[in-house]
Structure 1
Amino acid sequence: MDVKVIDIPAVPVAYLRYKGPYGAAIGDFWMEVFAPWQQAAGLQGRTTYGVAVDDPATTAPEECRYDACVEIEPGYQPQAPARLAELPGGRCAVAAFKGTGDQMPAAWGELFGQWLPASGLQMDARPCFERYPADYAMEPDTGVFECELCIPVK
C-alpha cells in the first residue's frame, strides 16, 4: 500500500448524515440521497468527503454514523436536513484507493492493521475520512471508483 503523510488544510463542508451499519448501504446513501441533494443545492463539481464518525469495532452497527460532505464557501447556508461543519486540518496518512465499495473495508483494514502499526505513527482524535475528487466518477460497468483514504496521525 502506497501511503503518504501530508498536511491537509481544514475545509468547511455541508453534510448529510447516514446512520446504520457501514458497508453497501453507504454507497446507496451517496447515490440515492446525497447526490440528488448535492445537485439540487448547486454543489456539484466539488471535492467531497465521507467521514466515519464512529468506530465500528466499538459502536453497535445500528448506531454508526457516517457524514457525506461537500466543500463549500464560507457563508454558505444550507437548508435542512443538511448541516455545516469544518473538517479539521492537520497531518494525515493518505492512501490512494481504486476499487469497488465492497473492496473498501479491506483497504481500510490494511491501512489500520498493517501500515499504521508499522509506521511508528499513531492515530489522533480527528475523524478518519475518504476524500473524493471534484471530478469523481464511478465506472458504470464495474462499479470501480477512486478516492483517498485519510487517517489523521501524530
Structure 2
Amino acid sequence: MDVKVIDLPAVSVAYLRYKGPPGAAIGDFWLEVFSPWQQAAGLQGRTTYGVGVDDPATTAPEEYRYDTCVEIEPGYRPQAPARLAELPGGRFAVASFSGTGEQIPAAWGEFFGQWLPASGLQMDARPCFERYPADYAMDPATGVFACELCISVK
C-alpha cells in the first residue's frame, strides 16, 4: 500500500447524509442523490469527500451514517437537505486507491488493520475520509475509479 503522511488544510464543505447499510447503497447514493444535487447547486468540478461518520464494524447497518461532501467557498448558503461542515486539517496518512466500490472496504481494512499498526502512528479523533479529485471520473464499463483514503494521525 502506497501511503504518505502529509498535512492537509481544513476544508469547508456542503454535504448530504446517507443513512443505511454500508456497501453498494452508498455508491447508489452518490450517483442518484448527491451527484444530481451537486450539479443542480452549481458545485460540480470541485473536490469531493466521503466521510464515514460511524464505524461499520460497531454500528448497526440501519444506523450507519456516511456524508457525501463537496468543497465550497466562504459564505455559501445551502438549501435543505444539504448542511454545512468543516473537515479539520492537520496530519493525515494518505493512501492512493484505484478500484471499484466493492473493493474500497478491503482497502480501508488493509489501511487500518495492517499499515496503521505497522507505521507507529495512531489515529486521532478527527474524521477519516475518502478524497475525490475535482476531475473525478468512474469508468462506466468497469466501475473503476481513483481516490485517496485519508486517516487522521498523531
TM class, shorter-length: over 0.9
How does the TM-score come out when normalised to structure 1?
A: 0.99
Matched AA of 2:94: V
State yes or no: 1:61 paired with 2:61: yes
Q: What is aligned with 1:14?
A: 14
Q: Which runs of 5+ in 1 are unaligned?
A: none
The 2-side partners of 1:50 and 1:16 are apart by: 10
Matched AA of 1:135: D
**SS of residue in 2 equivalent to 1:80:** coil
Residue 57 of structure 1: how far off its partner (Å): 1.5
Residue 21 of structure 1: how far off its partner (Å): 1.1
How does the TM-score come out when normalised to structure 2?
A: 0.99
Q: What is aligned with 1:125?
A: 125
Residue 59 of structure 1: how far off its partner (Å): 1.1
Q: What is aligned with 2:31?
A: 31
Residue 61 of structure 1: how far off its partner (Å): 1.1
The 1-side partners of 2:23 and 2:128 are apart by: 16
Q: What is aligned with 2:110?
A: 110
What's the CA shift string for 1:8-44, capped at 9, x where partnerless? 0000000000001111000000000000000000000
What's the CA shift string for 1:50-71, capped at 9, x where partnerless? 0000011111111110000000
Moved over 2 A (4+): none
Matched AA of 1:125: A
Q: Which runs of 5+ in 2 are unaligned?
A: none
Percent of residue pairs bearing the same amino acid type: 88
User: How many equivalent pairs are there?
Assistant: 154
Q: What is aligned with 1:134?
A: 134
**SS of residue in 2 equivalent to 1:102:** coil
Let me know the Cα RMSD of the aligned residues.
0.4
